[in-house]
């Protein structure tokens, strides 16, 4: 059985590498992108089984990419986890948790996240 592919889209390279290692060690194939624009291109390129999106990124943010994917008939079934530190930054940002929940993302997890919690959520969405 081929490995499930997960796309991680985040502008923090250290965070991306940490999540990549966690997912790869659990047996997933992992693709990465550093912003929403690159993330959209990677979705078209690798057709992931699941996408993990940061919210706050330069250029196209995670909410925008999530919305685009959910409106695309070819991509709308891809489960999306919004994984972000936006909760602690709400007083300083234009983002709100309600925005993430209204984007039709399947899950919304605040950073920092324990590796076990992330893997449990990924497994729940991928079966």
Whether the ω angle into residue 112 lies within 30 degrees of 0, i.e. cis, is yes
- Residue 10 CA to residue 33 CA, distance in Å, equals 7
pLDDT given for residue 92 in this prediction: 44
The helix (H) or strand (E) run that includes residue 95 is none
pLDDT given for residue 125 in this prediction: 97
Q: What are phi and psi of 111, to 5 degrees?
A: -85, 150
CA distances from 66 to 52, 85, 100 (A): 10, 17, 9
pLDDT given for residue 89 in this prediction: 47
CA distances from 53 to 1, 34, 118 (A): 26, 10, 13
The CATH number that applies at residue 83 is 3.40.50.2300
Residue 74 exposure: Cα atoms within 13 Å on the Cβ side: 7
Residue 117 sits in which domain range?
Answer: 5-126
The answer to which of 59-68, 88-97, 100-109 has the lowest mean pLDDT is: 88-97
pLDDT band at 115; cut points 50, 70, 90: very high
pLDDT of 100 > 50? The answer is: no
This prediction has a pTM of 0.88
Provide the domain count of the chain.
1
For the residues 4-21, what does the mean pLDDT come to? 96
Three-state SS at 110: strand
pLDDT of 98 > 70? The answer is: no
């Amino acid at each position: 059985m081929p490995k499930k592919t997960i796309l991680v889209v985040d502008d923090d390279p250290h965070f991306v590498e940490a999540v990549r290692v966690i997912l790869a060690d659990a047996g997933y194939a992992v693709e990465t992108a550093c912003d929403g624009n690159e993330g959209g291109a990677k979705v078209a390129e690798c057709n992931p089984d699941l996408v993990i999106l940061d919210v706050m990124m330069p250029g196209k943010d995670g909410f925008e990419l999530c919305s685009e994917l959910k409106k695309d008939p070819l991509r709308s079934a891809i489960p999306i986890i919004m994984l972000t530190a936006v909760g602690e930054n709400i007083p300083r940002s234009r983002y709100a948790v309600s925005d993430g929940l209204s984007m039709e993302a399947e899950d919304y997890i605040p950073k920092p996240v324990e590796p076990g919690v992330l893997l449990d959520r990924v497994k729940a969405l991928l079966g």
